[in-house]
Amino acid sequence: MSAVPESNWSAGRPDTGLTPEERAAEQHLELLDRVIGLEQQVAELQSTGLLGPSETIAVERNLAAMRSSMTWRAGRLVTLPIRAAKVVKRRILG
């Protein structure tokens, strides 16, 4: 990604000065342009699938293997009281 430049178009030109309103309008347009570009990037990322079908299957297998490991089971057992307390809290407080 490119960084937003700090200087404006009138930098280095002593005969052209911007009024505060013009400077604010220029900054507004710069930000608007940046937002439009970022919205386009988000649209491109959402339109393309991040994982293909075979990659999805591989990820699901890795997740299943991780969940069946002894470390995962031990961690779930250790955090069981905390998770149970959260459920009770959610039910009591709504």
**In a shared domain, residues 36 and 62:** no
Q: State the pLDDT at residue 34.
A: 93
Domain range enclosing 71? 53-93
**In a shared domain, residues 37 and 3:** yes
Q: State the pLDDT at residue 77.
A: 95
**In a shared domain, residues 41 and 70:** no
**In a shared domain, residues 12 and 44:** yes
Q: State the pLDDT at residue 61.
A: 96
**In a shared domain, residues 61 and 84:** yes
- Taking the C-alpha atoms of residue 32 and residue 37, their distance in angstroms, rounded to an integer, is 9
The model's confidence at residue 35, banded by pLDDT at 50, 70 and 90, is very high
**In a shared domain, residues 41 and 62:** no
42-88 pLDDT, tens per residue? 888 777 767 788 988 999 999 999 999 999 999 999 999 999 999 99
- Percent with pLDDT over 70 in the chain: 82
Tokens at residue 19, please? Answer: 């009024």
**In a shared domain, residues 5 and 44:** yes
